[in-house]
Chain A
Amino acid sequence: MSTTIPPARPAAPPRRTALPRRVTPARWFSDLGWRHLVGVLAVVYAGFPLVYVVSASLADAGTLTGSNELFASVSGANYVALGDTKFWTWMGNTLVVAVATGVGTVLMGAAAAYAFSRFRFSGRRVGLTALLVIQMFPQMLAFVAIFLLCISLGNVVPVLGLDSKLSLICVYLGGALGVNTFLMYGFFNTVPREIDEAAKIDGASHAQIYWTIVLRLTAPILAVVGLLSFIATFGEFIIARVLLQSEENWTIAVGLYGWVSSLQEANWGLFTAGAVLSALPVLALFLFLQKYIVGGLTAGSVKG
């Protein structure tokens, strides 16, 4: 052993001293430079469609051809023109549906996670396993059955039928428990039970513990679930497309698809302006809460 170490020693010092003395360009490139090169390329790749869409939305031509020269003309004509369309109605619909779904998902998911995490009852294990199994069947795969169900519900209670935002929200809420309970369940388990028990000894009811203690302590995960649900609902297309039939009730995804699929060339200006406006709320939320979302993504899936 001791005989093998000495030969290594003389070799090490020169290398260590060489680094701070002079950084050759080649050395810099193999250490950091290539990273900058990759970074710039990646930013261009990730960003050019976004730069393009902003430029196209500001072009006054409003057509696909007229949008190819980046920032050749800057005008708000496309944004103004949105006022003559149903865009803002769609935006309103989308926000209503997405916010309602987000809030409902958080409330129902958190309540269920609380029950699974804090109470011991018969059927608890079965329930958790069932949720895991149900998770595997994405709701949207059953869109035909959802469509048929809404027809028959609509014959009885019209607001739960086709072409109703409430009905769409209900469908989305149906998927809430399966997807999010596990994420929350894991997080709820990390809140020490001792806190609940202390409160219980002080005379708090289970409802008080839930609303005033557990929900406060789990606020980060509630925010994440609410946001992910909001973002997912915002961009959901297939169920919204199948259920919502009149233009007044469309969501943005359905409406913008309509513009692009019919007469892409002519509607391009409108579409890009609408795209910029509808991407903004999601983008802002995402960047603002990036840290939480990323944490939630990895935490939920790795533990789930």
Chain B
Amino acid sequence: MSLPATRGSGRTGWSPGFLVKLALIALVDALGVYAVLAAWSAESWGLLAAMVALLLVANWAYFSKRALPLKYILPGLAFLLVYQVYVVAYTGYVAFTNYGDGHNSTKEQAIEALLVQNERRVENSPSSPLTVVAQGDTLGFAIVSPEGVVEAGTADEPLAVVDGATVEADRVTALPGYEVLEYAAVLERQQEVTDLRVAVSEDPNDGSIRTQDARTGYVFTSTLTYDAASDTMTDTTTGATYTPNDDGQFEAADGSTLPVGWRVLVGLDNFVTAFGDDRYAGPFGKILLWTFAFAVISVASTFLLGLFLAIAFNDARLRGRRIYRTLVILPYAIPGFLAALLWSGLLNRSYGFVNQVLFGGAEIPWLTDPLLAKLAVLGVNLWLGFPYMFLICTGALQSLPGDVLEAAKIDGAGRWRTWRSITLPLLLVATAPLLISSFAFNFNNFTLIYMLTGGGPRFDDASVPLGHTDILISMVYSVSGLDGTAAKDYGLASALSIVIFLVVATISAVAFRRTRSLEEIA
């Protein structure tokens, strides 16, 4: 301990270890600088700052002599911060916004999208000779203005004057920085050409150039105009004026809104929707109850069956004990998703093994009747979960202190009494933390529910895609709209995630405290 701190840690010379370190850091730095440059060109400033900070910390940690612990923690910490801490914090933020379909982007992007979507060809608008050009794979247009000036641009770059173009009879034949496409090449990419819009200038109000025949370009301008000074949208065809409202949309005086909105903070609206909105509150209450019931019953049933089997096999005189044990834990070694999918086939109403063979062709709606589906989910989870409980109960039973059991025997305790007062309490102390983890796991057992019933059967009265066996996490998935069955609502989904987090964290915290006191008693 009193030795001078690690003197010969490889930094004094060019040892192989040092060279490896140098090479690794050089690699990290190279990738990091690439990412920084990419972030710069994508104008993604938050990411740029994060990358620079990460790079600085990494270089400092691995070349400073004072950052010894950080050398070991940093790799994991970096991933942890980005993909766990940040995403959790971001979930918290999104929960308070209206992020989702119709509110996908920032206000600037929403305004631009609105203007672009409402572009129409202006009656009698000027047309100009147009040539299709390309920059690598990117298509662009070159137009010749009445004054003979050549302007060119692509989908991302608005029109700009290009000097040094060769023009023959209103057609551009050569253009510096661009490649002029042959007629055949244009035909090949016809769809792309007719879809392409090249903005006239940086201001979306100026409209864009489009073409139908790859020869003539027309100016398209939006029927909406945006006035930055008053922050209003005006529809030039109807004359209606739209002003931004609190929900992140442009709203006219009569209450009608424009389709594209932007993200805004909406406070507790998402939570209010979950608990109060007619569409969600009913299903949410049922799903919350079922989630608790599912998790509690799953833990209890798997634990009881596992414990029973552990007791049954916990006799040294039992022949074939090892074979029984190995065969019984097999379900635990099967990945959960496979088991759930397999059971969904076994329980199939018309063709499944259970109905066809075990019930002689009865069409029992295991997965489509609300009550039976719940029982089926619990039954399948029992099959999946009891081997784990069997394992930990066996372990706990075998590590029971023999002297205590013997003392009980000497004191004259009978079988039942020993079991009640000695075995079970000790067993619970040893397994309680695992039971809590198991509860937390089942509370979020998305795979089982989604693969077995998909949350179904659907609630009759609900307009949202939720069903009788949905648990909170599968409700989050449906509400988020990432499976494509419903409109995306990231805000509400995140709010529900936060609710789950609060429930699981509270229960874990309380339960762990309880078990600590249990442990002290024992």
Contacts and interface: CB of A to CB of B under 8 A. Distances in A.
Contacts of B383: 45-46, 49
B106 to A, nearest CB: 12
A257 B339 CA distance: 11
Interface stretch (A83-91, A195-203, A217-225): A195-203
B90 A119 contact: no
Interface string B326-367: 111111111111110111111010011100110000000000
Contacts of B437: 301
Nearest to A63: B351
A174 B79 contact: yes
Interface in B286-310: 308-309
Contact of A145 (B91, B317, B388): B91
Interface stretch (B122-130, B231-239, B473-481): B473-481
A152 B17 CA distance: 37
A178 B357 CA distance: 46
A80 interface: no
Contacts of B346: 49, 52
Contact of A175 (B3, B83, B344): B83
Residues of A contacting B: mostly: helix
Given A155-B44, A257-B337, A38 B10 contact: no
A38 B9 contact: no
Contacts of B444: 138, 140-141
B8 A203 contact: yes
A42 B309 contact: yes
B86 interface: yes
Contacts of B85: 134
A247 to B, nearest CB: 15
B318 interface: yes
Given A46-B327, A68-B356, A237 B47 contact: no
B459 interface: no
Given A35-B312, A146-B87, A156-B44, A170 B79 contact: yes
A62 interface: no
Question: Which of B9, B333, B440 has the most chain A CB atoms inside 10 A of its CB?
Answer: B333
Interface string B1-32: 10100101110000001000000000000000
A253 interface: yes
A174 B82 contact: yes
A142 B68 contact: no
Contacts of A176: 76, 79-80
Contacts of B72: 111-112, 114-115, 119, 210
Given A145-B90, A148-B94, A206-B68, A175 B84 contact: yes
Interface in A158-215: 170-171, 173-178, 181, 197, 200-201, 203, 205-208, 210
A206 B9 contact: yes
A89 B433 CA distance: 39
B493 A257 contact: no
Contact of A139 (B10, B84, B317, B320): B84
A256 B351 contact: no
B254 interface: no
Nearest to B446: A238
A122 B86 CA distance: 23
Nearest to B85: A134
A268 interface: yes
Nearest to A158: B38
B434 interface: yes
Contacts of B274: none
B433 A301 contact: yes
A150 to B, nearest CB: 10
Given A43-B324, A46-B387, A237-B447, A156 B38 contact: yes
Nearest to A155: B42
A38 B309 contact: yes
B73 A144 contact: no
Given A42-B309, A46-B383, A140-B444, A253 B318 contact: no
B76 A32 contact: no
Nearest to B436: A301
Interface string A21-58: 00000000001101110110011011101101100000
A207 B88 contact: no
Contact of B69 (A121, A134, A208): A121
Contact of B505 (A34, A136, A234, A282): A136
B315 interface: yes
B446 A42 contact: no
Nearest to A8: B412
A111 B76 contact: yes
B210 to A, nearest CB: 26
Given A149-B87, A234-B335, A264 B79 contact: no
Interface stretch (B147-155, B418-426, B494-502): B494-502
B341 A301 contact: no
A39 B318 CA distance: 10
Nearest to A264: B345
A292 interface: no
B486 interface: no
Contacts of A67: 353
Interface in A217-252: 231, 234-235, 237-238, 241-242
A193 to B, nearest CB: 10
B322 to A, nearest CB: 11
Given A141-B91, A157-B35, A271 B345 contact: yes
Given A46-B330, A147-B482, A177-B76, 12 more contacts: A32-B318, A35-B313, A42-B328, A49-B331, A142-B88, A142-B91, A144-B490, A175-B83, A206-B9, A256-B338, A297-B391, A298-B395
10 contacts: A34-B312, A52-B353, A136-B504, A148-B99, A173-B76, A235-B338, A257-B337, A264-B348, A272-B342, A297-B434
Of all A-B residue pairs in the complex, the 10 with the closest CB atoms, nearest first, are: A174-B83, A108-B76, A205-B9, A235-B335, A115-B72, A286-B333, A177-B76, A64-B351, A145-B87, A111-B72
